[in-house]
Homo-oligomer: A and B are copies of this chain.
Amino acid sequence: MRMSNMLVLTLREVPTEAEIVSHKLMLRSGMMRKMASGVYNYMPLGLKVLNKIEDIVREEMNEEGAQEFLASAMLPAELWQESGRWDAYGDEMFRLKDRNQRDFCLGPTHEEVFTDIARNEIKSYKQLPVNLYQIQTKYRDERRPRFGVMRSREFVMKDAYSFDKDQEGLDLCFNKMNEAYVRIFNRCGLDAKCVEADSGAIGGSNSAEFMVKSDVGEDDVVFCNDCNYAANMEKASAIPEKSEKEDLKDVNKIETPNTKTIEDLVKLFNVSKKKFIKTLLFKADNKIIAVMVRGDREVNEVKVANFLGGVDDFNMASPQEVVLATSAAVGFAGPIGIKVDELLVDAEVSKTHNFIVGANETGYHLENVNYGRDFQGKVGDFRNVAVGEKCPECGGEITIARGTEVGHIFKLGTKYSESMKATFIDENGKQKPFVMGCYGIGITRTMASIIEQHNDENGIIWPLSVAPYHVVVVPVNIKDEEQMRIAEAIYTSLKKLGVQVLMDNRNERAGVKFKDSELMGIPMRITVGKKINEGSVEFKLRSESDNELIKIEEVCDRVKEEFEINNLKIK
């Protein structure tokens, strides 16, 4: 592509709306433009990257025997009513009516559609297993679209749905997809960690997320510094800290006026935070639940809700509800004499001796309280893991980072096949529901994540595998005939090799051209300047700060070498 014929859309200024580096750089380099809140148009450079990511995904999905489909984005309400999600989905689903007042939505995901396809097309176990995927635009009406395509309302997703005759088949497919995802993110140059995850609203029992570390990530991810362990905060097992062995003392009621916080109590009692146990009240649907964790810990609400099972609505209890349950002002809740439907005790609390808790009486606490002797409750893991704690797998040290999800693989089981009566005839002639899995990759989000991991102060540094162009040829002075002749010759011979080349023949200063190509992140730059008198041109990798001087006749080999180093074929 000759840049004189190209609509070049780079911006010098940093757009004010952009908060994170990928969003800024995608706007500045002209990859995309905003059309409405959370809705973007892809410009030629951005579309090329998007297509390359899509091709990598496609190759690896095909490699695992998955077949590409393309479903409509506009979906009839009937399918969603069958699965029960038409009402459950809420405000995040874009809905519309056609001219005959029939209800449609813009698909936020496609479980229903592919379950419908399977029940229509797959009759017998002989046709199984089947894994169907598509690369397609999804719509979700985010409450607060932010960070460019990291949290947008319209985005490109690869979603796959597998249909197996039994759990073993699903497990096999899940593992294949897991491996394919590792290869996909590797080929995209993206460092994405596979973490255990909670399966959330999509349902089912087993799921893993592919997360990239990101300051603006939506989730806390727990990593082990020493082994490969990684998990979402709600899935990371907390190892109870061992407390020192002590003889059990007698419970003692102490007056604690004006103690609103743990800090006030620490000051008053002059003992460690670990000696205090917090009792927090929640409302789970119509029940009041008390949860006890150590004073220095935080309750993990997802763990609590999952422990309770089948909870639709989970919130902190209101002050009125706290007063009713404790017969005291807020701040004096404790396990003894509390009126709640369920008392949950974090495992660590059950192993702490002689601790201090609220007395369920305004202005009083109890000391020397012990689980088992003084109160009963259901013991479990109800808290967040904290930095510095021990890894549940190897005992190594835990760190916590914010993460953004770029991929998610689920074992759905028979959730959708049962509700939508999607069945096949098994070996014994019996009707059975498909055992399903689903597997997503956020294509647009992957693109932004690659930029988050590959940039510097001058712009994007695309990995060669997804770069919009591989090489830019920059003649320093387009009025110099010899420079132009050599630049054109290099451009032509690289194109002939199959390399994707930009020829920056614009009538601009070399500095402007360098700035643009660095902003756009083109991996290799060949500068054709005065050194042609010595038969040389400059070769520069975007990822390196130094130039190499190479012979004109060596340019093609040098470029080929980079493809080899990156283990890529020139297409």
A interface residues (Cβ-Cβ under 8 A, vs B): 5-7, 9, 33, 35-36, 39-44, 47, 50, 65, 67-76, 91, 94-96, 98-99, 102, 104, 106, 113, 116-117, 120-122, 127, 130, 132, 137, 139, 141, 143, 153-154
Q: Which residues of B contact A95 (CB under 8 A)?
A: 96
Q: Is the CB of A74 within 8 A of B139?
A: yes
Q: Is the CB of A73 within 8 A of B137?
A: yes
Q: Is the CB of B35 within 8 A of A47?
A: no
Known: A33-B120, A73-B137, A74-B94. A68 touches B39 (CB 8 A): no
* Minimum distance in angstroms from A551 CB to a CB of chain B: 32
Can you sample 26 A-B contacts with CB below 8 Å? A5-B65, A7-B121, A7-B122, A7-B132, A33-B121, A35-B72, A35-B76, A36-B76, A36-B102, A36-B104, A39-B74, A40-B72, A41-B70, A41-B113, A41-B117, A42-B69, A42-B70, A72-B154, A74-B106, A74-B153, A74-B154, A91-B99, A94-B96, A94-B98, A96-B106, A99-B141
* Minimum distance in angstroms from A292 CB to a CB of chain B: 38
Q: Is the CB of A117 within 8 A of B6?
A: no
Further contacts, 11 of them, CB under 8 A, given A35-B116, A36-B72, A73-B154: A7-B67, A7-B121, A7-B132, A33-B120, A35-B76, A36-B76, A39-B76, A41-B69, A44-B68, A47-B68, A99-B141
* Minimum distance in angstroms from A93 CB to a CB of chain B: 10
Number of copies: 2
* Minimum distance in angstroms from A113 CB to a CB of chain B: 7
Q: Which residues of B contact A122 (CB under 8 A)?
A: 7
Q: Is the CB of A47 within 8 A of B72?
A: no
Q: Which residues of B contact A5 (CB under 8 A)?
A: 65
Closest to A32 in B: B70
* Minimum distance in angstroms from A115 CB to a CB of chain B: 13
The interface centre, meaning the residue of A65, A69, A137, A143 with most chain B CB atoms within 10 A of its CB, is A69
Known: A74-B139, A76-B39. A69 touches B47 (CB 8 A): yes
* Minimum distance in angstroms from A83 CB to a CB of chain B: 15
**Bound: A533/B193 CA distance, A:** 56
Known: A43-B69, A154-B74. A143 touches B96 (CB 8 A): no
**Bound: A73/B71 CA distance, A:** 15
Closest to A93 in B: B99
Q: Which residues of B contact A7 (CB under 8 A)?
A: 67, 121-122, 127, 130, 132
Closest to A98 in B: B141
Complex A-B, nearest 7 residue pairs according to Cβ-Cβ distance, in ascending order: A96-B96, A42-B70, A36-B76, A41-B71, A91-B99, A44-B67, A39-B72
Closest to A70 in B: B42
